Amino acid sequence: MIDILLVHISDLLNQNFKNQNGVSENKVVVSNLPDSASSSQVELENRIICFLLSIEQETILKNKNGRMGGSSSGMMDKFAPLYLNLQLVFCANFKSENYLEGLNYLSQTISFFHQNRIINLGNIQGLSMKMDKLSFELSNLSYDNLSQVWSAIGSKVLPSAIYKVGLVIFDNTPIRSITPVISATGSQNPD
């Protein structure tokens, strides 16, 4: 499901870049950052690279009850849905001579998510029916935290924006049991 979301987000950004800049090629790719020995490094040059930095559970909705009404036969009992937030990084991987172009595309990325803080997903195949929209919030990291992120990634520092994307819902757990409906109460007369 996460892969489908990242591809959808990159498709939206690519379409936006094509509309604004008249470019025919995709400028956003979903990929790990290339290492210096990677053959894919050339394919990722002069692109905005989108990658997943981390996944965290949405704690506000963590203890939601897994019971749900539903059928005429009773209450369905299943594990509560798992609500997740994703940390996505959008970084400008442009050669030195195209550095300003990279900053322009990064600026357009930030502008896109500022104008589209909520993205409606519609009916994208492979996603939970309960997931109908995503919210985007620009993360503010201190210089020290940002340095730690790039050190952990093991890459050179690139101009980037980190977004918290919420809520991704995993709700495909099987029903554990069905509690029957009480259809009538009988009163007993202890005569």
Query: How confident is the model at residue 65, as a pLDDT?
Result: 55
Query: How confident is the model at residue 2, as a pLDDT?
Result: 87
Query: How confident is the model at residue 38, as a pLDDT?
Result: 59
pTM: 0.78
Query: How confident is the model at residue 66, as a pLDDT?
Result: 52
Query: How confident is the model at residue 34, as a pLDDT?
Result: 75
Tokens linked to 2: 């996460």
Within the chain, which residues score under 50 in pLDDT? none
Query: How confident is the model at residue 1, as a pLDDT?
Result: 80
Query: How confident is the model at residue 24, as a pLDDT?
Result: 93
